[in-house]
């Protein structure tokens, strides 16, 4: 299935932001897709491999809309605290699961908890994956207050931010109902994290951790 990211155009005169969602697909993935279908743009999902098979329809839909489906891990364990063999399996199994739905996987990976070290850098370099974290964290995992989440994002977001959220909380879904239309009304273009990084850096280096 072709990814509709191909041929997408970004207006260099308008600000961009990459909304990213970890740990799903989950409770509000479909709601987020509904919002971007109405308001335009694309977002990125860093998925857990163990949830891929049961959410094939959501992933198929997101990919067809041009969203990124990216590797997070199989079961969200800290990849700096387990063996190299175990980390490799977590990553490879997740990428394989993604490719079983989309037909391919994009070479970007977000380490669980954003934790990376030299061993992980060497492994991801060997696997041909670049790592990416974020520049803005509303800590939606620490609060169920949708207004607090949305206010933090809207009060702090700047051109080029990568925003960390999670599509597994109802409050995040409610916050996105405020954030997405507000960002669009401000003139922000909602682009994927892969678009943002390739636009900023060109070819990404495997094994390198990009924070935004």
CA dist 208 and 206 (Å) reads 6
Who contacts 108 (Cβ-Cβ below 8 Å, separation ≥6)?
A: 68, 70, 71, 129, 130, 131, 132, 193, 194, 197, 204
* pLDDT for res 211: 87
Answer for the pair 17, 188: CB distance below 8 angstroms, yes or no. Answer: yes
Catalytic annotation, pick one of 3, 22, 72, 161 = 22
Sign of CA dihedral 22, 24, 25, 31: negative
CA dist 168 and 32 (Å) reads 11
Q: How many CB atoms lie within 10 A of CB 94?
A: 25
Catalytic annotation, pick one of 3, 72, 79, 166 = 166
* pLDDT for res 9: 82
Q: In this predicted model, what pLDDT tens digit does every residue of 100-143 receive, in sequence order?
A: 999 998 999 999 999 999 999 999 999 999 999 999 999 999 99
* pLDDT for res 8: 64
Q: Is 22 a catalytic residue?
A: yes
* pLDDT for res 7: 44
What's the whole-number mean pLDDT along residues 31-60? 98
157: left (phi over 0), alpha (psi -120 to 50) or beta: beta
- Average pLDDT taken over every residue of the chain: 95
Q: Is 60 a catalytic residue?
A: no
Q: Under DSSP, is residue 146 helix (H, G, I), strand (E, B) or coil?
A: helix
pTM > 0.85: yes or no:
yes
CA dist 69 and 97 (Å) reads 11
């Amino acid at each position: 299935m072709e990814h509709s990211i191909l041929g997408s155009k970004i207006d260099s005169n308008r600000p961009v932001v990459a909304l990213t969602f970890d740990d799903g697909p989950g409770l509000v993935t479909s709601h987020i897709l509904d919002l971007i279908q109405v308001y335009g743009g694309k977002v990125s999902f860093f998925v857990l491999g163990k949830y891929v098979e049961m959410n094939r329809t959501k992933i198929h839909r997101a990919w067809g809309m041009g969203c990124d489906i990216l590797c997070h891990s199989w079961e969200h364990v800290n990849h700096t605290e387990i063996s190299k063999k175990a980390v490799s399996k977590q990553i490879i199994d997740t990428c394989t699961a993604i490719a079983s739905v989309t037909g391919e996987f994009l070479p970007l990976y977000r380490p669980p908890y954003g934790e990376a070290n030299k061993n992980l850098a060497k492994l991801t370099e060997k696997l041909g994956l670049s790592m990416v974290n974020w520049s803005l964290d509303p800590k939606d995992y620490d609060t169920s207050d949708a207004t607090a989440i949305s206010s933090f994002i809207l009060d702090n977001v700047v051109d080029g931010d990568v925003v960390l959220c999670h599509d597994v909380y109802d409050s995040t879904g409610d916050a996105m109902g405020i954030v997405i239309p507000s960002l669009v009304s401000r003139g922000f273009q909602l682009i994927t994290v892969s678009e943002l990084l390739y636009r900023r850096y060109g070819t990404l280096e495997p094994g390198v951790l990009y924070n935004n």
